[in-house]
A and B are shown apart, each in its own frame.
Chain A
Amino acid sequence: MTHRLRVNPIACEAHGMCHELLPERISLDEWGYPILDGAPLDPALLAHARRAAAACPTLALVVERRSGELDRPVNARRP
């Protein structure tokens, strides 16, 4: 299953936590807002991506399973 990162640009307030926690995939623009490339997440980075999404103070960063479909919550138990 491919996972992707997506940011809700309305909710995002440029705290920059996501870049701190996932610099491999998230850079910041000159105003501090995250730049995502939209490519599928490397499975090795999935745990870090979920951590970054959970750390976002405005919950603007989301990990999606498919387009529009949210990933399970970070703390949910595996099926």
Chain B
Amino acid sequence: MSYESTLPGPSAAALVDAPGLPRLLAGIPSRGALGLSEHLALHGELPAVEGRGRARRGAASGLIEEVERAGLLGRGGAGFPTAAKLRAVAGASRSVLGGGRPVVVVNGAEGEPASAKDRTLLRSLPHLVLDGAVLAAAAVGAQEVLLGVCWPDGGCEPKASVSPLRSSPSALDAVARALEERGGGVLVGGVHFQLCPVPNRYVAGHESALVNHLSGGPALPTFTPPRPFERGVRGRPTLVCNVETLAHLALVARYGASWFRELGTPEQPGSALVTLAGPVAQPGVYEIEHGSPLSALLDAADGLTAQPRAMLLGGYSGTWIDGSLLREVALSDRHLSPFGASLGAGVVVVLSDAACPVAELARLTRWLASQSARQCGPCVFGLDAIASTFEQLAGGAGAGGRNLTERLHTLARLVSGRGACSHPDGAARLVASALDVFAQELAAHARHGPCAACARPSELPRPRASRPTTVAPA
């Protein structure tokens, strides 16, 4: 069973009931996508941002300053300041060595299996994302926007087969339809939009992999530097922005920085989309205020349906924290950092106490190993060794159990920071936190072998079937 089918559609996107919310999810339709006219009726026309050519230090740099004042951070997981990114791309195209007109890439790959927020935005509120892309293009002086959107079924079909009239609703269809509403690709200020399906694999959303794919190569990470802002798609300075980041940008441009800062923490202003999964009554995508308690999110989802054993925060490359902290943690990086966690791409997965964490970890790390791009030795061999060790532990290792958990500590340290992308680092983070949170279960399995819960079906959202190790160029 693929997770896509069990994942609630956009109709399940709900809100934590709080003053000032919803922002991004305002006007989200229960079915289909919000059309252009309804979108404009809700948010108003896009404020004019002069292109770089006409007003070098005028309205365009004004937008960058507004984004800086707003303190908008990227929502793809890394949390990089968006204004700094915009400025770097605008600057790279102006520099003596500049590679010409910049390109804007909308990162809608969403390779994280537990996340559905980007797909929700693209499926239901595509115009908000397109607005953000138009603004970003104007701010950096780009005339070309490439929309990297993942295939819904894990497929890797050729671009030519994108049909806006396919019966099953997908992010690709919704975006294609939204582009048609706006006049079929050429939009405000002469910005040209192109829809580019991205293979559905974990590392395809890494910005260097996406840039590589959009330049005609495989969707695999490359060695950086040069970073995309220096030399990206076809050698041009490239702005790669997450879908949710651009949606926030569209609101900041309309309502201003001080409005944006009315919600959230000083370090992480604004609201955020969170995908909640696990034993909760209403799993799905929620809009929260940064810093709101995790318990409020669970209440908005009509509560838990089982006793929580632990929570996985940030995604499959995130951090486990103990279930006893459920009433204590708040959803912002400042609140989560004492537990070594961060909100990452906005994923909260609850694991019930009925599940066997060791069996879950064995499956999860095996999947992470399968998602390696198989380019960097420490990732290829290290993640496989981690998965094998968990599998050994889950199967009962006898007297060697203690050595196995020590080996996992060693392996997590060994793979961290040694790949071209951050995939091994994420796996290391997951393993290190799991060793801490599930120490008891790991020790028990090592001594006594598999438990009764080992045979239970996986409770974590099942990643889509792993892709073959190489992906054909676009």
Identify the A interface with B (CB < 8 A): 8-14, 29-33, 35, 67-68
Cβ contact within 8 Å between A68 and B225: yes
Partner of A33, one of B223, B375, B378, B420: B378
> In the complex the two chains form, is A9's CB within 8 Å of B376's CB?
yes
Chain B: which residue is nearest A12 at the CB level? B377
Which B residues touch A12, using CB under 8 A?
A: 376-377
Say how far B112's CB is from chain A's closest CB, in angstroms.
22
CA of A14 to CA of B379, assembled, Å: 13
CA distance A56 to B377 in the complex (A): 16
Per-position binary interface string of chain B over residues 206-224, scored 1 when its CB falls under 8 Å from any chain A CB and 0 otherwise: 0000000000000001110
Contact of A9 among B225, B226, B420 (CB under 8 A): B420
Residues from chain B with Cβ under 8 Å of A30 in the complex: 381, 414
- Assuming A8-B420, A9-B419, A10-B420, is B378 touching A29 (CB within 8 A)? yes
Chief secondary structure at chain A's binding surface: loop
Contact A9 B222 (CB under 8 A): no
- For A64, give the chain B residue with the smallest CB separation: B225
Interfacial chain B residues near A9, Cβ < 8 Å = 223, 375-379, 418-420
The total of Cβ contacts below 8 Å across the A-B interface reads 40
| Cα(A32)–Cα(B378), bound, Å | 9
How many whole Å from B382's CB to the nearest CB in chain A? 8
Distance A65 CA – B379 CA, assembled complex (angstroms): 27
In the complex, which residue of chain A has the Cβ closest to the Cβ of B424? Answer: A9
Q: How long is the Cα–Cα vector from A29 to B225 in the complex, in angstroms?
A: 24
B residues within 8 A CB of A68?
A: 225-226
Beta-carbon contact of B381 and A10 below 8 Å: no
Expressed in whole angstroms, the minimum distance between the Cβ of A38 and any Cβ of chain B is 8
Q: What separation, in Å, do the CA atoms of A35 and B414 have in the docked complex?
A: 9
CB-based closest 7 A-B pairs = A9-B376, A68-B225, A33-B377, A31-B381, A10-B375, A8-B223, A10-B420
Q: Within residues 413 to 430 of chain B, which ones have a CB less than 8 A from any CB in chain A?
A: 414, 418-420
- Whether A10 and B225, one on each chain, are in contact in the complex, defined by CB atoms closer than 8 angstroms, is no
Is B223 within 8 A of A11, CB to CB? yes
Residue of A nearest to B418 (CB): A9
Q: B420 to chain A: which residues have CB within 8 Å?
A: 8-10
Q: Give me 8 other A-B pairs in contact (C-beta within 8 A), A10-B222, A68-B225 excluded.
A: A8-B223, A9-B223, A9-B376, A9-B418, A10-B223, A10-B420, A12-B376, A31-B381
CB-CB < 8 A to A10: which residues of B? 221-223, 375-376, 420
Q: How far is the CA of A9 from the CA of B223 in the complex (A)?
A: 8
| Chain A residues with CB under 8 A of B418 | 9, 33, 35
Verify A31–B223 contact, CB threshold 8 A.
no
Jot down 17 A-B pairs with beta carbons below 8 A, ordered by A.
A8-B223, A9-B377, A9-B420, A10-B221, A10-B223, A10-B375, A10-B420, A12-B377, A30-B381, A31-B377, A31-B378, A31-B382, A33-B418, A35-B414, A35-B418, A67-B225, A68-B226
Most central of A8, A31, A68 by chain B CB within 10 Å: A31
